[in-house]
Every structure is written in C-alpha cells, then in structure tokens.
Structure 1
Amino acid sequence: MYREQRPPPRLRGLVRCLWQAQEPTARLIIPDGCLDLIVTDDRVFIAGPDTRSWQSALPPNTMITGLRFQPGQATRALGVPADALRDRRVDLAELWGTHGAALTRRLQDDPDALSAIIAHRPIARPDPELREVLARIDAGATPVSSVIAEIALSERQLRRRFTAAVGYGPATYRRISRLHRAIDRARHATTTSLAEIAAEAGYADQAHLNRDCRELTGRTPATLLRRD
C-alpha cells in the first residue's frame, strides 16, 4: 500500500506531497532529488537526497508516514544545507536538538501533524534563480552549462547555491530527473521500445539510458521499467 495526497495550500511550492506506505517486502527507493521527513513507530528522521538507490530496511508491513519536500526547497524549512544530509538518514532529534526530540514524541503520537509542524516552522524565502534552473532541467534542457549561462549569476555562485539547496550539483540532478522522465514515459507509453523511451526522456541513445539506470539503481532498464 502506498498513497499520496497533496499538501495544504500554504505548503505548496515547498512540499511535493504527504504520503503513507505499508510494504509487505523491502522496496527499492530510487533517487528523486527530494528530501523526506519520515515517521515510523520507533523513529522520526530526515531521509536526505540520495545519489544511489537503496532497499528499505524497515520490517515488513511497518506503517510509514512521510512528507516529501519539493527538490531544492527542504533547506528553507529544515535550516541545514541539503548536501549535509546527502545519502544520510538523520533523526529529527539530532537535527533540531531538544525541540526535535519534543516534535519526535508528538509525531509518533500523531503522524498526521507533519504538515502542521512544517507550516509553523520559520520558512526562508524561495530562491528564484534556483527554481528557474530546476524547472529548466526538469523540462529536459541540455546541456546544464547552457542553462546556467542564462541565469544572472556566476556559474560558481549558482552551483554553490544549487548544491546547498538540492544536495548535489546540477549535473547529478539532471541525471536523476532524466531517469524519472524515462520511468514516467515507460509507465504511460504504448511503446515497448526502450530506444524510443530513451529518446523521449532525453538520452542520447538506449546505451546511455542503460548506463545511467545501472549506475543510479543497480538495475537494467528492462528490469526497472518492466520492459522485455
């Protein structure tokens, strides 16, 4: 069981969704450029931005409640740079100290309080240049250097801000975004051709999709995308 719901209006632009899951077996978690605040029976933690897929190690049928931030937006509410959380799972009590420990107890009693807790945090203003770069990459813009060149900041400044907000640089985020375009196209396409899916997602060819898929997920596209 996995289901998502939209965040309340005051959190849109900051939060992608609220979600609940209860999996009978371990599930492959694929990098998506997001950070999640996650509540289980015995832990409340931040799942940082991943650079590789991983298998959920929670006991089967554990009920999990989560809040997923939009790419590049979590640091506005969490108060720490996303790259400090890259490939990590950090307890809320470690992140926010005594206040985090109190919120952990509250969330374990009432996981549905996730959105209210984030809504009452001091939220930093959005970064318009960062949002522009993220939107262009998600739309398939290439190469990254050309996207950055059109923004009114130095490349060094923008890369530093991007890495602090997203958790890794624009090139890594582009690979992750492109893989998710391929997954989405495979889910909705009528074609069974991996070459066509690769082209539509923005890969140079099927071999390019094969390499990225293996490096990011440890699986072949035929396995991950359920194609023969």
Structure 2
Amino acid sequence: MPLGYRERPSRIPGATVWVRDITVDATAPVLPDGCMDLLWMNGRLTVAGPDTRAYHPTIGPATRIAGIRFAPGAAPALLGVPANELCDGRPDLSDLWTPAQSRRALALLESASSSTAGLEAIAEWRAADTIPVDPIVPRIVTELRSGATTIADLAADLGLGPRRLHRLSLAAFGYGPKTLTRILRMQRALALARAGTPLAETAFRTGYSDQSHLSREIRDLAGMPLTELLAR
C-alpha cells in the first residue's frame, strides 16, 4: 500500500473507500484491477473508468483525493453507463448524468460528515434507484479470479456463447474476459509477491509458465519491471 494512502471497507457491499495524499505518493502508479471508482477531487466528482494499463496521477491543485472503489462489474449499473464507454477514462460525473442527478450527488456529498461518507451516500442513493447487478457478473469474476477455468469452459458453464460472454464482459468490466483474466491474475501474483512468496513460486501458483512470463506480463500491464513495482 503506497505511503499516503488509506482505505477501509465500505458499508456498500463489496466496495472500498479510500483517501490518497497525492503530493506524498504521486509517483505510485494505479494498476489495473477490474474495478471502477467514484472520486472527489478539486471540488469535482470524477469517474475512474476501468484501466487496461497503469495510470500515473499527476501533481496538480489537488492535495487529497477521496474515492469509493466498486467491485468489478458493480459500477456500470450505478452510473448508468456501460463500462467499455469509460475504459481508461477519467470523465467528470456531470458529463454522464443529468444536471438534476449531478446536483443531488453534490448535495449528498456536501451534507455528509466526510468526503468518503458522502461518496457512500451517493452510491446508496443510486443503488436504491437501479436494478441490481446480474448475479452472473460476480460469478464471472469469481471463476476467472480462481484461475481454475478457461474462458470457453466458463461460457459453457454459464450457458452463454463466447460472443455473448464477451459482450457482457465489455459492458460490465470494460474489456473482454481475456483481458480481465490477465488483470485478475496480475493482482493475485502481486498479492503473493508482496507477502514474501518467491517469484518463481508466485509464477507457478498463479498459472504463469515461468518467472520470465510473470515478469513480462507485469511489465506489460504495469508499465514497469516487477522488482521496481514491488519496491514501491
């Protein structure tokens, strides 16, 4: 966890609220994780779309960013926008919502005891007004995160054709199941490596062919060598 970053479980099921002091750890990249966030910074509500590559914050007027990170596939229903339309983007919430919706979101934020509590209030309001996430979405995440199934087998187990699974994944996660699998596997590998598991064992336990394969995948998705990433 980078210096200047704090998080806690949200009262929203599956979500996490966090605060980041951008002037302290601006060099720490934000890695793809299959999630989407609602951010409060510079007096604006912003959406962090699903990333396909590392995102590097820049030092600007904001000294602190508050956010709520939704579980993979959970945010599109709350936002009312398919995830693939937000991929690698950071649009203002006002660009996605009506003026009335944006005003209500700001009112909830301003009346809350803290910025993170305000973000949770916005999420609760939207959850009450939207259709719940299809149960098939978290099942896709669980199965792909386990690394114990292939995409073809998953599509068959879910009663979906590969093309339908791909379309569903684009809308829910921002990218197809193959990219989601790579991202979730990277996150599993990093968790093991950060816990002290030797890299060769980490590669074996997470399904990479060898340590070199692990290093190449991490460099491709994170934009830096694995050893440098772990050092940060």
TM-score when normalising by structure 1: 0.89
**More deviation in 97-106 or 47-56?**
97-106
Q: Find out whether 1:18 has 2:17 as its counterpart.
A: yes
Structure 1 counterpart of 2:21, one-letter code: Q
Structure 2 counterpart of 1:219, one-letter code: M
Task: Go from structure 1 to structure 2 and tell me whether the alpha carbon gap of 1:133 and 1:101 turns closer, same or farther (over 3 Å shift).
Answer: closer
Contact map agreement 1:133 1:148 (CA 8 A) in 2: no
Q: Find out whether 1:203 has 2:204 as its counterpart.
A: no
Q: Find out whether 1:53 has 2:38 as its counterpart.
A: no
The one of 168, 175, 181 equivalent to 1:168 is 175
**More deviation in 161-170 or 95-104?**
95-104
Q: Unmatched 5+ residue regions in structure 1?
A: none
Q: Unmatched 5+ residue regions in structure 2?
A: none
Q: Find out whether 1:134 has 2:141 as its counterpart.
A: yes
**More deviation in 59-68 or 20-29?**
59-68
Contact map agreement 1:39 1:108 (CA 8 A) in 2: no
Residue 55 of structure 1 aligns to a residue in which SS?
coil
Q: Find out whether 1:181 has 2:149 as its counterpart.
A: no
The one of 211, 220, 223 equivalent to 2:228 is 223
Task: Go from structure 1 to structure 2 and tell me whether the alpha carbon gap of 1:207 and 1:198 turns closer, same or farther (over 3 Å shift).
Answer: same
The 2-side partners of 1:210 and 1:60 are apart by 35
Post-superposition Cα deviations, 1:110-162, rounded to whole Å, max 9, x if no partner, equal 52311111111112222122222210111122422222221112222221111
Task: Go from structure 1 to structure 2 and tell me whether the alpha carbon gap of 1:202 and 1:225 turns closer, same or farther (over 3 Å shift).
Answer: farther
Contact map agreement 1:30 1:217 (CA 8 A) in 2: yes
> Residue 33 of structure 1 aligns with which residue?
34
* CA RMSD between the two structures: 2.0
> Residue 154 of structure 1 aligns with which residue?
161
- 1:217 CA drift (Å): 1.0
Contact map agreement 1:25 1:61 (CA 8 A) in 2: no
- 1:61 CA drift (Å): 7.1
Post-superposition Cα deviations, 1:59-104, rounded to whole Å, max 9, x if no partner, equal 3871111011100111111111000000101101111030344146
Contact map agreement 1:83 1:164 (CA 8 A) in 2: yes
Q: Find out whether 1:91 has 2:104 as its counterpart.
A: no
Contact map agreement 1:37 1:44 (CA 8 A) in 2: yes
Q: Percent identity?
A: 39
Contact map agreement 1:33 1:173 (CA 8 A) in 2: yes
Contact map agreement 1:92 1:104 (CA 8 A) in 2: no
Task: Go from structure 1 to structure 2 and tell me whether the alpha carbon gap of 1:176 and 1:197 turns closer, same or farther (over 3 Å shift).
Answer: same
Structure 2 counterpart of 1:186, one-letter code: A
> Residue 43 of structure 1 aligns with which residue?
44
Residue 96 of structure 1 aligns to a residue in which SS?
coil
- 1:28 CA drift (Å): 0.7
- 1:182 CA drift (Å): 0.9
Task: Go from structure 1 to structure 2 and tell me whether the alpha carbon gap of 1:64 and 1:51 turns closer, same or farther (over 3 Å shift).
Answer: same
The one of 5, 9, 12 equivalent to 1:6 is 9
Equivalent pairs, count: 221
Contact map agreement 1:178 1:201 (CA 8 A) in 2: yes
Structure 1 counterpart of 2:80, one-letter code: G
Contact map agreement 2:42 2:62 (CA 8 A) in 1: no
- 1:223 CA drift (Å): 1.4
